[in-house]
A = this chain, B = another copy of it.
């Protein structure tokens, strides 16, 4: 059995499917919306947006996943509490060979800036298979979006300097593989994972470990011997880890010696890596030594428990402290590279995006009927029915709101629009004529009739999309701490539909 095939799901998806089958409604067209409710809140700091990721790998999974005979062989053996089989032969006979070919999907493509309560994925298809899709869809999209978001923040903190993803050893087992891929979409430039680099078409990156220096010491040699050996093998890729013995008294001077030898032989040294201690202070002092030796252009790679706050602090400290040592802070910041591991691949501080997948409509008698679940908190009431999502840009070209409306509605640049707070009836605002310079539909068709409509594998496209969205996002929303809340609103028509539906259900 394929461990990550159709049975990489929660049991209850299959038991519910059997109920639908027995009731004869398993083929009834249904719509599920996927969205999340809150931006990641890492405790001391909170995100103002997310970056979508995972969709193209989900689509690949949907393409290659069918209910196989050996899946059925296993399900036949699953007993209920009484010792009788949980699944009946008639259901399994129908189930074998089923696929996601009947599913139609719209989605916000990977690499886009997104916000809470906006449908990221809209799934329509036969009730049973659309329900079964839930677990895999959430499994692919929740984690990858979480990591892409963290990577975006890390990149912002580093002011766009290169970010290297190094988290495999403390990542979530094989989940580090899709996690690193999401990091590459959201903000990392390269990863150390060799097999993933091969898959996405990037060169893998890395330096060396302390153990390399230790081996030479144990063999009776010195740190300089270790650096020389490394430089001899990699004369054009010489990036040396300088903190095994003492960063400023041993590591950097030895690196400079080797760099001089490389330069004399016609090679260009790449840089040094600092992996412990006060990274800002050490970067300043290392830069000073390197500058004085004429290596003003080699990189300084920082690593050791980095995340967006640590990087922000390092950059700020360099701006404060570097001038007193005669080092130009902006030049130094401009030669830094960040190696980010554990805290990126695990989204330290906020371990899971709260994405959900909610039934919002069923097709009955030829039309889509909106469905609404009344739970105790108004914020949790999903927006019913079939929807469209627009992003509105203001006169400056900055994204000013994401708006959910009823399918078929039209919003055009220039027109007056009333935007309702999704929950609070007293909060609404009207954008005057001319306030909107551009209206963009966010959901695009991604799958129809068993065919994936987008090719999402190209990292360059995804990154360009990400950079485009971030450039049009208000700086306040991008703040690492206490971000401005981006508006997600409902149109008049959707608001009214929700109110009517709640009143009807309350009345019943």
On A, residues with C-beta under 8 Å from B are 1-5, 7-12, 14-16, 18-20, 22-23, 25, 30, 32, 43, 54, 74-75, 78-82, 84, 86, 127, 131, 134-135, 138-140, 142-144, 166, 168-179, 192-199, 203-212, 214-215, 217-219, 229-230, 232-234, 236-237, 243-245, 267-268, 270, 276-277, 342-343, 345-349, 351-355, 357-359, 362, 364, 369, 371, 373-376
Contact = CB atoms under 8 A, between A and B. Distances in A.
Contacts of A348: 351-352
Contact of A376 (B25, B277, B362): B277
B194 A245 contact: no
Given A23-B229, A218-B369, A270-B81, A138 B178 contact: no
Contacts of A16: 208-209, 211-212
11 contacts: A4-B174, A10-B193, A14-B194, A80-B236, A81-B236, A82-B236, A139-B174, A172-B175, A175-B175, A215-B359, A218-B364
Given A2-B195, A198-B1, A82 B237 contact: yes
B22 A195 contact: no
B10 A206 contact: yes
Q: Which of A1, A10, A179, A196: most chain B Cβ within 10 A?
A: A10
Given A219-B25, A346-B352, A138 B229 contact: no
A23 to B, nearest CB: 6
How many copies of the chain does the oligomer comprise?
2
B175 A212 contact: no
A181 B174 CA distance: 13
Contacts of A243: 375
Contacts of A20: 215
B143 A173 contact: yes
A507 to B, nearest CB: 14
Contacts of A43: 43
A352 B236 contact: no
B169 A139 contact: yes
A75 to B, nearest CB: 8
Contacts of A166: 10
A327 to B, nearest CB: 23
Contact of A7 (B74, B84, B175, B198): B198
B362 A234 contact: no
Contacts of A178: 172-175
Given A19-B233, A193-B10, A179 B173 contact: yes
Given A193-B8, A376-B276, A218 B170 contact: no
Nearest to A178: B173
Contact of A199 (B3, B179, B197): B3
B218 A78 contact: no
A170 B244 CA distance: 39
B171 A78 contact: no
B22 A233 contact: yes
B174 A210 contact: no
Chain B CB within 10 A, most for which of A9, A18, A369: A9
A374 B245 contact: yes
Contact of A195 (B1, B131, B203): B1
Contact of A86 (B19, B234, B345): B234
Contacts of A172: 143, 171-173, 175-176, 178-179, 346
Nearest to A23: B229
B168 A139 contact: yes
Contacts of A353: 170
Given A19-B212, A362-B215, A169 B351 contact: no
A9 B194 contact: yes
A232 B359 CA distance: 23
A359 B211 contact: yes
Among A79, A86, A134, A198, which residue has the most Cβ atoms of chain B within 10 A? Answer: A198
A176 to B, nearest CB: 6
A9 B347 CA distance: 20
A70 to B, nearest CB: 10
Contacts of A168: 8-10, 135, 139
A234 B80 contact: yes
5 shortest A-B CB distances, which residue pairs? A175-B175, A12-B206, A172-B175, A82-B236, A346-B351
Contacts of A138: 169-170
Given A168-B139, A206-B10, A218 B22 contact: no
B214 A371 contact: yes
A197 B79 CA distance: 12
Nearest to A371: B218
A195 B3 contact: yes
Given A3-B199, A11-B193, 6 more contacts: A86-B234, A139-B176, A175-B179, A218-B369, A277-B376, A346-B346
